[in-house]
Chain A
Amino acid sequence: MELSDQIAQYLVSGLSTGAIYALIGIGFAIIYNSTEIINFAQGELVMLGGMFTIFYLNTLHLPLPLAILLAVASTTAAGLIFERLTIRPLKSPTPLALIIITIGGSILIRGITMMIGGKDTHALPAFSGSEPILIGSATILPQHLWIFALTAVAITLNKLFFQYTITGKAMRACAVNRRAAGLVGIDVKKMVFFSFAISSSLGALAGIIVAPLTMTSYDVGIMLGLKGFCAAIIGGLSGGVGTVLGGLLLGVLESLGAGLISSGYKDAIAFIILLLILFLRPQGLFTKAQTERV
């Protein structure tokens, strides 16, 4: 295979993992914008999406589409219970307390999943076969297409929701100024609840559509979550295009780095980018410096 063919191949796989990072990153951004919390348990919700699907599919023998729907619903419920039990009762929600409590929660979710589901790695069947499709000189799997399509749909729906529904607008108001939003009669706590619901379901979706490609187990959440966060940081913690571009950029750089430089250091690439962005452009790559994001 020639170098240009290889690069085309890396681009395809990079863009598809990038789409996953983008979904997770948007989840981070939505919660951050309505609560100023970075939910360290976001990655675990991604993991739960995949694991719940495996459970409904293999243990309850449900058909795949139903299993996926139920898995998204279950993960969303888990995210909401998490918010109710840990974040909401917190008496003094300092950033430090929130960091520690969401880390504690993520460990708990991971541990419970391991206790119930075991430590095995599971593969989800591809949604529609695994016959590679040849595009030019690169091959693309049907699952890649599913990832692109479902990510695009989820992001579009998300955008429409925030742009045109009254709840979406209320949530955006909370993101701008929580107190002011409360003053004009917006139920801020309810909006926080909604933001956890949306980001849990986005996370679950990400975990489900990536599982046929990369397998899933109780401990995939840490890395996926961190890389989603990295995508969100590149995008300046925007709930929209910025984070999507951030995710795609990260996915492609990682894939090229792993292919052309060293596969062992693949995971380090994301963190080096994360540190560089935080040091040099904490407001994200695509936004002008305006608010102090620190």
Chain B
Amino acid sequence: MFSKHREIFKFLSLVLVVLITPLLVHEGYLLNVLIFVGIHTILSLALNLLLGYAGQISLGQAGFFGLGAYISGILTTTHAINPWIAMLAAATIVTTLAFFVGFPILKLKGHYLAMATLGLGIIIYIVFNEAVDRTGGPSGLSGIPNLSIAGYTFNTDLKNYYLIWTFTLVAMGLSLNLVHSRIGRALRAIHDSEVAARVMGVNARVLKVQIFALSAGLSAIAGSLYAHTMTFIAPASFGFNFSVELVTMVIIGGLASIYGSLLGAALLTVLPEMLRAFQDYDIIVYGLLLVLMTMFMPGGLVKGIPELFTSIRARATRKVKTDA
């Protein structure tokens, strides 16, 4: 079960790894990949809170990510607002929006919920493309300023690495805290049986909406970070395919596992870089991974690998016994 010291030790080791990695990785390209791992971890974490813990699917996460990026991008370029305030605005607007949309959407279950969130994501995506005079349309929005603190601007890969990973670690820490709290237990109760959770006094309806809003807000922060790090955004990054990619990260890493989100995000960010030679065919790999993981390792890598070891060991001991 959850032992507090072990959990803290695990988290601090991760912080240490994050801190020293840039000493070993100097190359700009690799740092850039790691920056993306950080952003994707926040996103898959946000989805995992909803999908893994509360058991509610969203196929529209890329839309919230995009909204965060565009609100930040438009406020800082067109209206010359400070990037930090823009990020705060993005998070607030998207969280509020998701909260109000959440009530009718989360009344739906299963396939209906999947289709509704998918529809929402696609509507947002279409707006990015069509509201040309605000978003720049399909060709995107450029010249988004970097974040800065008191004259110190995050304008190199190394600075951005530390910036993004600070956010990622804070998000992970807060999520760990959340899922081990009363709320986390309530969420898991909803996952197992909403009716039972309600009977036990969990306000399932409101809690689902709250976690949906939190998930959207966290995705918006990731979007804002993305916009200020890349300084350029275009609708293509926020389409349906990316929503599916995020679901893949969560499934591969492990549903209802905070570290699984990190693992899934890392794998699915690094893998395409290695599959560069195949160009567009990486999407086939996603499809195959989704199908195979659902069939053979529904708990994701975080649970699947230890299970694999135990079953191998069990088989080995059985073999020893029969041999003797």
> Residues of A at under 8 Å CB distance from B?
37-38, 40, 86, 89-92, 95-101, 103-112, 114-115, 119, 222, 226, 229, 233, 262, 264-265, 267-268, 271-272, 274-275, 278-279, 282, 293-294
Contact = CB atoms under 8 A, between A and B. Distances in A.
B30 interface: no
Nearest to A262: B130
Contacts of A91: 295, 298
B247 interface: yes
23 contacts: A38-B114, A91-B298, A95-B111, A96-B55, A99-B114, A103-B290, A104-B287, A104-B294, A107-B244, A107-B283, A107-B284, A108-B284, A110-B283, A112-B284, A119-B280, A226-B122, A268-B123, A271-B119, A271-B120, A272-B123, A278-B116, A294-B108, A294-B110
B109 A294 contact: yes
Contacts of B59: 103
A204 B127 CA distance: 31
A96 to B, nearest CB: 6
B289 interface: yes
Contacts of B55: 96
B251 interface: yes
Contacts of A89: 295
Contact of B280 (A86, A96, A114): A114
Contacts, number: 121
A274 B108 CA distance: 13
A294 B112 contact: yes
B294 A229 contact: no
Contacts of B126: 264-265, 267-268, 271
A282 B120 CA distance: 16
Interface in B243-299: 244, 247, 251, 280-281, 283-284, 286-291, 294-295, 298
A100 B290 contact: yes
Contacts of B111: 37-38, 95, 98-99
A111 B298 contact: no
Contacts of A115: 281, 284
Nearest to A104: B290
A265 B104 CA distance: 23
A109 B284 CA distance: 8
Contacts of B291: 86, 101, 104-105, 108
Interface string B58-81: 010000000000000000000000
Size band of the B side of the interface?
35 or more
Contact of A101 (B57, B115, B120, B294): B294
Given A108-B291, A279-B107, 6 more contacts: A91-B295, A107-B284, A107-B290, A226-B122, A267-B122, A271-B126
- Judged by DSSP, the binding face of A is helix
B165 interface: no
A59 to B, nearest CB: 21
B240 interface: yes
Given A96-B55, A104-B290, A222-B240, A271 B123 contact: yes
SS class of chain B's interface: helix, strand, loop or mixed? helix
Contact of A282 (B112, B247, B286): B112
B102 to A, nearest CB: 12
A114 B104 CA distance: 37
Contacts of A119: 280
A107 B294 contact: no
Given A264-B129, A268-B123, A275 B116 contact: yes
Interface in B102-159: 104-105, 107-112, 114-116, 118-120, 122-123, 126-127, 129-130
**Can you list the 7 inter-chain pairs with the closest CB atoms, starting with the nearest?**
A104-B290, A107-B287, A111-B284, A108-B287, A95-B110, A38-B111, A271-B119
B244 A268 contact: no
B112 A293 contact: yes
Contact of B119 (A86, A97, A110, A274): A274
A111 B279 CA distance: 12
B281 A111 contact: yes
B112 A107 contact: no
Contacts of A226: 115, 118-119, 122
B66 to A, nearest CB: 15
A34 to B, nearest CB: 14
Contacts of B118: 226
Contacts of B127: 268
A109 B288 CA distance: 10
Given A92-B298, A274-B115, A294-B107, A103 B283 contact: no
Contacts of A96: 51, 55, 57, 110
A265 B129 CA distance: 9
Which of A97, A100, A275 is packed against the most chain B CB atoms within 10 Å? Answer: A100
Contacts of B288: 104, 108
A99 B110 CA distance: 8
A282 B108 CA distance: 9
B115 A38 contact: yes
A282 B289 CA distance: 33
Given A108-B287, A112-B284, A268-B126, A100 B294 contact: yes
Contact of B130 (A108, A111, A222, A265): A265
